[in-house]
Structure 1
Amino acid sequence: MWYLGSWLFPVISACMWLGMLLAMFIDWEVIGHPIYPSMEAGQKIAYISDVGAYGLKPLFITGSVITTVFLDLGFMAERWLRHTGRLVPNTSFAQKVLSVISIIFAVAGSAGLILLSIFDTYHHPRLHDGFLLLFIGGYIISAIFLCAEYQRLGIHYRNHRILRISFYVKLSFIIIEVIMAVVFAATSFNSQKNVAAVFEWLVALIFTFYILSFLLDLLPSVRSKHHVPQGWRDAELEKGRNGLSTEPDAPVTSDSAGPNQNMGPEDDVSQGYRGTTMTNGVGAGAGAGYPNNHSDVGGRKKWGVGRFRR
């Protein structure tokens, strides 16, 4: 059933992440922009971690866990679907290595997000900042390796535009997130906390679109009445280019049993049959089966027809 496919993983992850962010922002807005104990003097805009360190900490932890678990499942599903052929397969061992490395860094980023939600900024400020760096860095490095894999896939499968689109979407995420992360870090260390808080919210929102970009990768694997999985369709086209039948059970040739397919019990093998070596009928001996002279070879070729030889 197409509606229960792996494409649901990024949808669930993105919905959970965006829903959590909206709930936290609306709560902070509705209760009148409170100044939390973790906020510094002069800071009026709360960080996400400031809101998540207090009344909404259970939501922050739950949302972080669900978001990262389903996102990582999306990473693993993409790897598995390429391995099994529902998505166009990798064409080299290097591409598989890039994919595995991207999964490893994605898991590291997931661990960073879960741990920073548990070790909040008020009670564990140093640990919280370290896990925040792990979260952002892990997913950015993961996206870099994923882009490298897709760049190589796009070169080989030029007929699949979706690979190039996914590559450019993820590349845009890397560029934008790196720029915003640098601005966020610079304003945080320069005590411009309000500017830093705004950029933190923006970085989190853009991460939602990165999660949704995996729909571009997983949707082509869906099998429905009107859609063939990307890898299967490509395999059929490859068979067509090689002159092979695209029917899964069709034989490669029309006479797969060989030249003896139509021989019956009445056929005498000693009389020769189509495909056997033509001889002069000499009996056993040193010259058995070999023509007496070269003109005899020509004569046998001229008068022999299939199995019926004189």
Structure 2
Amino acid sequence: MFGLSYWFLPAFAGCCWLGTLLGLLINWVATGRPQYAWTGAGQTAPYISDIAASKWGYPLFIAGSATTVVVFNISFVAERWLRHNARLAKNYRTSEKILSGFAIAFAIIGGIALILLTVFDTRRHHNIHITCLFIFIAGYIISAVFICAEYQRLGVLYREHRILRSSFWLKLAFIFVELGLAIAFGVLQRGRVGRALNPSAYVEWIISLIYIFYVWSFIIDFLPATQTRHREDRFELPGPLRAREEEGEMRMQEQEGGNNLGGPVYTGGAWNERGSQGSEVPMYGQAGYRGTAGEVVPPSRNF
């Protein structure tokens, strides 16, 4: 039903991240669940970063993470381009375009942080790794906030398109869930040792898995683009803006119609070369008005 289109970008990015996590976890289990020298004493549940710091996990984590964030960030740019060309609900207001720009910027920041945390592994660069981890989480949460703000404004204009509303609520849920989990992760990890680190490791895995569903939530955003390949099928001016535009055209036509019928034209307060203002400008008689052609008519009085 749906041809291979832009929705493939977030679908592929999410699958890459899922494949990376599964590859790390399955290999760790297959090799006998080893305890690494850089894990906490008594810790039985490994962090993603612990497995990724191993000899075989390091290249897998870098390749999988880099592919995920590059493709996912391309999705942000593609969405902006599709909205600009009315393949998706178009941004007509400057505020929406600014919000979209901030969403892209913070997504790029989060993506760069993810790549850096894979390079600076927890075994050799623990502090840098943790810092990049929080920047990664914060970057995508802030990006989601700007996306929700943009979609809320789009939803006001495109009330008939339920995809915007569904996507808004999905991303809003991601914001609250990931923010809560990030706080829990920081609290559990702070000052904990040994087996007490296990809950923190579980939370890290949950955060990473929820990130997959956030990436996949963009699939529904791209679905309308499968139906708007042809120019005649693209999004039209939304109802509220169309009504405003039609009202402006009607007023213009009424003004033009009044002038064509020989109606009076007022200067609206502009001064003429003699120093008169507004309706004080002398008007010469025309058909249908008092006075004959060429006769000066006394100025009207505005009260």
Name which structure has the greater RCO, CA cutoff 8 Å, separation 6+. 2
Residue 199 of structure 1 is matched in structure 2 by: 203
Letter of the structure 1 residue corresponding to residue 184 of structure 2: V
> What's the counterpart of residue 272 of structure 1?
none
Aligned 8 A contact 1:169 1:213 in 2: yes
Structure 2 distance, partners of 1:217, 1:230, is 20
2:50 counterpart residue number: 50
Aligned to 1:146: 147
Structure 2 unaligned runs (5+)?
247-259, 263-285, 288-303
Displacement after TM superposition at 1:32 (Å): 2.1
Deviation at 1:88, TM superposition (A): 1.3
Which of residues 232, 235, 251 in structure 1 aligns to 2:234? 232
Aligned mates of 2:102, 2:151 — CA distance in 1: 13
Deviation at 1:234, TM superposition (A): 3.8
Distance 1:190-1:230 versus aligned 2 partners, 3 A rule = farther
Partner of 1:220: 224
Q: Partner letter of residue 134 of structure 2?
A: L
Alignment match, 2:105? 104
Instruction: Note the alpha carbon deviations across 1:74-116, whole angstroms, 9 max, x for none.
Output: 1001101011111111131011000000100000000000000
Distance 1:30-1:230 versus aligned 2 partners, 3 A rule: farther
Matches within 5 A, 1:204-283: 204-223=208-227, 232-235=234-237
User: If the length of structure 2 is used for normalisation, what is the TM-score?
Assistant: 0.75
2:100·2:147 contact (CA, 8 Å) conserved in 1?
A: yes
Partner of 1:247: none
Say which is worse superposed, 84-93 or 193-202, in terms of deviation: 84-93
SS in 2 for 1:43: coil
- Please say which of residues 3-12 and 65-74 is displaced more in the overlay: 3-12
CA distance in 2, matches of 1:2, 1:19: 24
4+ runs of 1 displaced by more than 6 Å? 227-231, 236-242
Distance 2:58 2:133 in 1: 16
Q: Distance in 1 between matches of 2:238 and 2:171?
A: 29
Q: Could you tell me how far apart the structure 2 residues matched to 1:44 and 1:236 are?
A: 56
1:228 shift after superposition: 7.2
Give RMSD over aligned pairs: 2.9
Amino acid paired to 2:92 = T
Residue 73 of structure 2 is matched in structure 1 by 72
- Aligned residue in 2 for 1:20: 20
Deviates more, 1:22-31 or 1:1-10: 1-10
Structure 2 residue matching 1:132: 3-state secondary structure: helix
TM-score scaled by structure 1? 0.73
Shift of 1:240: 10
- Measured in 2, the distance between the counterparts of 1:221 and 1:229 equals 11
Equivalenced residues, count? 248
- 1:91 corresponds in structure 2 to 92
Give the partner amino acid of 2:234: W
